[in-house]
Amino acid sequence: MKKILLKSAQVIDESSPHHNKTVNVLIDKGNIAKIGKETPDADKVIDAKGMILSPGWFDMRASFGDPGYEHKEDITSGLETATAGGFTGVALLPNNKPVTQTKNEVSYLKSRNAGSITEIFPIGAVSIDAKGEELTEMIDLHHAGAVAFSDGIHPIWHTDILLKSLQYLQKFDGLLINLPEDTRLNLFGTMNEGVNSTMLGMKGMPKLSEELIVQRDLELLQYAGGRLHFTNISSERSVAMIKAAKKRGLEVSCDIAAFQTAFDDSTLSGFDTNFKVNPPFREKKDNKAMIKGLQEGTIEVIVSSHIPQDEESKKLEFDLADFGIISLQTVAHNLSVLSDSVDMELLIKAVSHNPRKLLRLPVPTVKEGEPANLTLFDPAREWVLNSKSNKSRSKNSPFWGKAIKGKAVAVFNQGKQYIDDTI
């Protein structure tokens, strides 16, 4: 690895002595060799003026589809996509084939970390085959390296399974992650239930389907104790309930998809299946509540919610198409847009420090002598997501072919580096 100098980068890392300072950072042999105003010799100099240097980004919710769905994404393409998106760590959902529910499946995923810039952190399934009927051996999965437990794209519908999971995971301070959704209320739903779904003649997915499960899970958390994380929340009332639960002292946290506030349900008027996601895009007032939740710290984490889908799953009538967006490479754009309303420091924490803290993982820092686990982010860089720039095997993105602003331009981890070819 050559000596690389990042010149005039703004550091955002509250644990660093250089937090909010503009400095030159020398990276040598995979370590942060020098930070200051000096300009030491280097093999490559990157002019980082106007760019943000932070601990490497970490994604708490992504799917690579490997094993079983490699035609949508495999581990190689998934890691390349995550690296190009600025991520040095990715927690993978268990919804593969087979489901991540034994030590062998965890080992298979972790085996790909050697020599990779982005590291995989498997999430173990809560229930066998993620069906919500019978518990997995979570202690064994924990010892094998699972960093959290979730049924991923499937909500934990079985109340007793959720209760027992909260109790079981307390043995090792494990984190339970649930997607709050009453699937029966959402049955055959394709978009947010409201005026727009009525006008378009599409079956709606009511906010109540999310809010009922948030309310249920918070009651069970109060009863059983433990740590609970709601993933992909989308409703104004969900934010309010989680905020109130935090005030009561419950160990509850939540995240939103990076793209959730980028659109609302009026966007679906063109029936573009690239806008079909679960939870669906809600109303403008819900988006405002998400932004306020980020500002206040109720929402601590921003996730990619990267769900690759092949063309056969998306080039269909809207009601038949699968849910999901590829989004690892566009999180930087979403952060850039969100920074108009939310302090950039909070946004960077939401994709670097906070996810690792919740998962009880070491948090890298921008400090001399430390291993270089870093992301360099240019909030102003314009680019286009297209066949040339896209690293994923799928292309189901509402940003496809559009000029967008905000890009991760360099990533360092495990003695290796990725540098965008535009710098």
What CATH code is carried by the domain that includes residue 411?
A: 2.30.40.10
> Both 156 and 22 in a single domain?
no
Mean pLDDT of 372-377: 98
Can you point out the beta strands (E) in 30-157? 31-36, 44-47, 52-55, 57-62, 87-92, 119-124, 148-150
Using one digit for the tens of pLDDT, what is the confidence trace for 160-180? Answer: 999 999 999 999 999 999 999
> Both 146 and 178 in a single domain?
yes
> Both 319 and 339 in a single domain?
yes
Using one digit for the tens of pLDDT, what is the confidence trace for 264-289? Answer: 999 999 999 999 999 999 999 999 99
Count CB-CB contacts under 10 A for residue 287: 20
Give me the pLDDT at residue 1, please. Answer: 61
Distance separating alpha carbons of residues 296 and 299, to the nearest angstrom = 8
Distance separating alpha carbons of residues 423 and 295, to the nearest angstrom = 32
The first and second tokens of residue 271, run together, are 């029936």
> Both 349 and 273 in a single domain?
yes
Higher pLDDT, 63 or 422: 63
> Both 250 and 388 in a single domain?
no
> Both 41 and 75 in a single domain?
no
Q: Which residue has the tokens 């967006």?
A: 325
Can you point out the beta strands (E) in 42-200? 44-47, 52-55, 57-62, 87-92, 119-124, 148-150, 175-178, 191-192
> Both 148 and 9 in a single domain?
no
Give me the pLDDT at residue 381, please. Answer: 97
> Both 394 and 321 in a single domain?
no
**Domain harbouring 73, CATH code:** 3.20.20.140
Give me the pLDDT at residue 178, please. Answer: 98
Percentage of the chain with pLDDT > 70?
100
The first and second tokens of residue 20, run together, are 């909010």
| Per-residue pLDDT at 415 exceeds 70 | yes
Mean pLDDT of 35-43: 96
> Both 183 and 64 in a single domain?
yes
Using one digit for the tens of pLDDT, what is the confidence trace for 185-221? Answer: 999 999 999 999 999 999 999 999 999 999 999 999 9
Give me the pLDDT at residue 423, please. Answer: 87
pLDDT band at 389 (very low <50, low <70, confident <90, very high): very high
| Per-residue pLDDT at 396 exceeds 80 | yes
Q: Angle formed by the axes of helices 236-247 and 208-224, to 10°?
A: 10
> Both 158 and 48 in a single domain?
no
Amino acid type, 94: P
Mean pLDDT of 106-126: 97
How many structural domains are present in the chain? 2
Mean pLDDT of 291-316: 98
Which residue, of 325, 341, 358, is where some domain finishes?
A: 358
Using one digit for the tens of pLDDT, what is the confidence trace for 13-31? Answer: 999 999 999 999 999 999 9
- What pTM, to 2 d.p., does this model score? 0.97
CA atoms within 13 A on the CB side of 260: 30
Give me the pLDDT at residue 79, please. Answer: 98
> Both 81 and 14 in a single domain?
no
Give me the pLDDT at residue 355, please. Answer: 98
Mean pLDDT of 309-336: 97
Range of the domain at 41: 4-53+367-419
Three-class SS of residue 249? coil
> Both 97 and 120 in a single domain?
yes
